Amino acid sequence: FGKGYIAIVRGVPDIAFFLFFVIALDQIFEVIRHKIKCPDWPDEIWQGSDFVVCQAAKLPLGNSPQWVHDTYGFFVAVLTFAIVFGAFAANVLYGAMRAVPHAQLETAEAYGMSRRQSFWRILVPQMWVYA
């Protein structure tokens, strides 16, 4: 799952994520709420290029104060940023872990260290040098 996440998110330009993923994420939230709150809705959700859900499924509700709309937009933007930055950080840390010479890990094993000990005492400190 992790390598696929990194490959997909890092393969898409960040600006495309920030422009389009926010809208898609909002629509995913509304579709889920629509299926829960309005199970007897007779119409299609996507009507051509229009996205129509019942009023109870709107996020945030239309009669909410402006600060709720602003906070929700900020939350969705922060979530999108976290997804993009998480993939970037994972990519950097994965590369740093692979840059540690394998001979150091073999030496730790030869000294009788467990995998956990060699990870925390050898790999992690050396990894930060390369990150």
Q: Are residues 88 and 112 in the same domain?
A: no
Residue 89 has pLDDT above 90, yes or no: yes
Q: Are residues 62 and 7 in the same domain?
A: yes
Q: Are residues 19 and 70 in the same domain?
A: yes
Q: Are residues 89 and 106 in the same domain?
A: no
Q: Are residues 29 and 79 in the same domain?
A: yes
Q: Are residues 71 and 9 in the same domain?
A: yes
What is the chain's alpha carbon radius of gyration, rounded to the nearest angstrom? 23
As for how many domains the chain has, the answer is 2
Check residues 127 and 62 and name the one with the higher pLDDT. 127
Q: Are residues 122 and 76 in the same domain?
A: no
DSSP 45-108: SEETTEE---GGG-SS-TTS-HHHHHHHHHHHHHHHHHHHHHHHHHHHHHHHHHHS-HHHHHHH
Q: Are residues 76 and 20 in the same domain?
A: yes
Please give the pLDDT value at position 127: 93
Tell me the residue range of the domain where 74 lies: 2-94
Q: Are residues 27 and 65 in the same domain?
A: yes
pTM of the model: 0.72
Q: What is the largest CA-CA distance in the chain?
A: 69
Residue 86 has pLDDT above 90, yes or no: yes
Q: What mean pLDDT do residues 5-24 have? A: 88
Q: Are residues 104 and 88 in the same domain?
A: no
The string of pLDDT tens digits covering residues 49-83 is 888 888 888 888 878 899 998 999 899 889 999 99
Q: Are residues 65 and 32 in the same domain?
A: yes
Please give the pLDDT value at position 17: 85
Q: Are residues 80 and 110 in the same domain?
A: no
